[in-house]
Chain A
Amino acid sequence: GENVEQHPSTLSVQEGDSAVIKCTYSDSASNYFPWYKQELGKRPQLIIDIRSNVGEKKDQRIAVTLNKTAKHFSLHITETQPEDSAVYFCASRLTGFQKLVFGTGTRLLVSP
């Protein structure tokens, strides 16, 4: 079945720096790649997603890139702020299925 690896497991940056979180998926039939943000004690919330027919998508300070050949996708956060501190999860979904497979998460800490 599909497997998603996520790195790094923890990431510490200074406010204003950029942060990059990377994920690798195993099944080339995957076609949908969402990113979720989970604050401490809260539910995961969708922040951005990308489909396999698109190479990059931006939404203000966040962007996601997809390299289908290498089966990599990445989350980029620019001008980080303390409120960006949270756990971020990537996920992938196989074409024709409704199952999301999640990575193990990245704990991002943005220091003022």
Chain B
Amino acid sequence: NAGVTQTPKFQVLKTGQSMTLQCAQDMNHEYMSWYRQDPGMGLRLIHYSVGAGITDQGEVPNGYNVSRSTTEDFPLRLLSAAPSQTSVYFCASKKKGTAPNYGYTFGSGTRLTVV
């Protein structure tokens, strides 16, 4: 298993550009989430999904869109990049259920800089 795979690892965008951060998991996990990590602010939830075709907003959804057409993929779209979106983005997935070790597995992150 590759686990949770995020691409790209690094990206520089100009203000106003759009782009898609890719996230894929091969563990047949039902739940997937996107977080952004900023210094001193921990991890903040952007959007999440409990299954294919179902998405919902987290704490900081403005400026981001998501879709979940398959169980494996959960892309995050930046519609018009702003410097405030400079951050490290993590995708995470989790299997449905409450058995031991059913916590979220994180991808390796995408470091995004908007200039």
Contact = CB atoms under 8 A, between A and B. Distances in A.
A111 B33 CA distance: 35
A101 B59 contact: yes
A102 B104 contact: no
Interface of A is mostly: strand
A31 to B, nearest CB: 9
Interface residues of B, number: 24
Interface string A74-101: 0000000000000001010000001111
B106 A44 contact: yes
Interface size grouping (class) on chain A: 20 to 34
Contact of B104 (A1, A46, A51, A103): A46
B35 to A, nearest CB: 8
Interface in B65-115: 90, 94, 98, 101, 103-109
Contacts of B101: 46
Given A98-B48, A99-B48, A100-B45, A46 B107 contact: no
